[in-house]
Chains A and B, each alone.
Chain A
Amino acid sequence: EAQVTQNPRYLITVTGKKLTVTCSQNMNHEYMSWYRQDPGLGLRQIYYSMNVEVTDKGDVPEGYKVSRKEKRNFPLILESPSPNQTSLYFCASRGHGTDTQYFGPGTRLTVL
């Protein structure tokens, strides 16, 4: 089954404790993105990647890092989480030459 998976689905952590949210897709897609969803703001792009070792900032990159060492994986790293990063995070992917993005199930992060 074609899908985007994220782990963990739920995470509660404390300020300053480094964490990683994993994202994996099995569709051999070139493009991958991370979004955060906040009430009244819709989804906003954090980072994206156009292929292995090619990443760039989206609209709200501050406080986040990403890497793309393999085509299928695109982890999101919060090196020093803060309460304003409490949000619902989505990973998405799409294939080259298409415009439809496939979303993962989401990761609800709470930073205390």
Chain B
Amino acid sequence: GDSVTQMEGPVTLSEEAFLTINCTYTATGYPSLFWYVQYPGEGLQLLLKATKADDKGSNKGFEATYRKETTSFHLEKGSVQVSDSAVYFCALGSQTGANNLFFGTGTRLTVIP
């Protein structure tokens, strides 16, 4: 079945460092792919998404490219800030009518000044 494997955390970086969080998926067909972010004490917010192969999603300086050949959707940011400290979830959209998102386990990012 459909699934997502996400880089284990936690990740601690200094401010202005480069960030990569790896995400790979298993699915038949062409699912939409998402990155959600959860700030402390809050619900999940959509960070970015891509709906087909080679699409690049971007938002707030974060980027991720839908790579069908490597079944990956890695999240990157060139220069992280303290305010980026959060938990990041990679997710895959169900291709049935189940209204489901298949989530990775989440990666906690802490950015220190």
Contact = CB atoms under 8 A, between A and B. Distances in A.
B97 A103 contact: no
Nearest to B98: A48
Nearest to B51: A99
Interface secondary structure of A, over-half rule: strand
**Chain B, interface residues (CB within 8 Å), range:** 20 to 34
Contact of A33 (B6, B36, B93, B99): B99
Nearest to A40: B105
B89 A43 contact: yes
Nearest to A106: B43
A48 B98 CA distance: 7
Interface in A85-106: 90, 92, 94, 99-106
Interface in A55-107: 56, 58-59, 90, 92, 94, 99-106
A49 B46 CA distance: 21
Nearest to B6: A42
Interface of B: 4, 6, 32, 34, 36, 42-46, 49, 51, 89, 93, 97-101, 103-106
